[in-house]
């Protein structure tokens, strides 16, 4: 197979800007041009801010594994918490304990969220709340958030919760309750820095470890067909 040309290598390093970011980029460019005309020093600062906005709203393509039984990461970021909990009543998932995997997104991560598996969105719920540090455990129950619950054809239910943080002040969802959604398909984003929780089906083991970097739509969070116990790992 022929290698990539230099131009292809360079262009592959850039990702398109998601449509939700177009208005912010347009505002940034307008402010930059105005300041470059009247106050050049501030104009260059505005240009850097605009470049960061373009970077923040990047929306790269992902290669999603399609085998049944795989649950993929809904977001980019660091796996910050893995614990067994009873899901909040708002999820309507019953009282059985489930593994909750929390992914913390810094302002430098891709902020597009993707469905962890294929199915139908049977619940989409917005909950107003506080704007605590998203890395805190209680952010799952106290911060502003939006939940979607995806049910597979086999009746398995997985919940994904978009959680606002100290900086994030806007949760955006592209999919509605009742919609069918494919694994890895985009369903929302959070502006600007946040956390995403995934509640696995009862009895499912995580295939990731705390401290690991997850790639939305690609990293496998759990394999429902696997008999492997919860993984042990170390950071070095």
Which residues neighbour 105 within 8 Å (Cβ) at sequence distance 6 or greater?
A: 75, 76, 77, 111, 134, 190, 193, 194, 195, 196
Q: Are 104 and 80 in contact (CB under 8 A)?
A: yes
Pairing of strands 119-127, 194-199: unpaired
- Report the distance separating Cα 210 and Cα 81, nearest Å: 6
- Which position among 80, 102, 194, 222 bears the catalytic label? 194
- Report the distance separating Cα 215 and Cα 203, nearest Å: 24
Length of the chain as a residue count? 236
- 194 part of the active site: yes
- Report the distance separating Cα 182 and Cα 165, nearest Å: 27
What does the DSSP 8-state code read for residue 5?
P
Segment holding 62, helix H or strand E: none
Q: Are 204 and 222 in contact (CB under 8 A)?
A: yes
Backbone angles phi, psi at 120, to 5 degrees: -115, 135
Helix/strand/coil for 69: coil
Residue in 216, 120, 218, 111 with CA at minimum distance from that of residue 172: 111
Peptide bond into 93 cis (omega under 30): no
Q: Which residues are tagged catalytic?
A: 194
């Amino acid at each position: 197979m022929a290698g990539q040309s230099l131009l292809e290598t360079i262009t592959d390093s850039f990702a398109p800007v998601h449509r939700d970011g177009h208005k912010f980029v347009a505002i940034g460019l307008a402010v930059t041009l105005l300041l470059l005309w009247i106050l050049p020093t501030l104009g260059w600062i505005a240009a850097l801010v605009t470049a960061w906005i373009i970077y923040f709203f990047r929306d790269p393509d992902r290669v999603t594994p399609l085998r049944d039984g795989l649950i993929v990461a809904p977001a980019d970021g660091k796996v910050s918490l893995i614990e067994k909990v009873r899901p909040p009543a708002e999820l309507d998932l019953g009282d059985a304990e489930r593994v909750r995997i929390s992914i913390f997104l810094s302002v430098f991560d891709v902020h597009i969220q993707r469905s962890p598996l294929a199915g139908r969105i049977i619940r989409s719920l917005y909950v107003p709340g506080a704007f605590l540090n998203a890395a805190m455990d209680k952010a799952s129950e106290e911060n502003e958030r939006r939940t979607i619950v995806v049910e597979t054809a086999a009746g398995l239910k997985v919940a994904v919760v978009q959680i606002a943080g100290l900086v994030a002040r806007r949760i955006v969802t592209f999919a509605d309750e009742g919609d069918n959604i494919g694994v890895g398909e985009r369903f929302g984003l959070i502006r600007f820095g946040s956390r995403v929780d995934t509640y696995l089906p009862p009895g499912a083991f995580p295939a990731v470890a705390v401290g690991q970097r997850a790639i939305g739509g690609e990293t496998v969070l759990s394999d429902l067909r696997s008999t492997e116990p919860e993984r042990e790992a170390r950071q070095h």
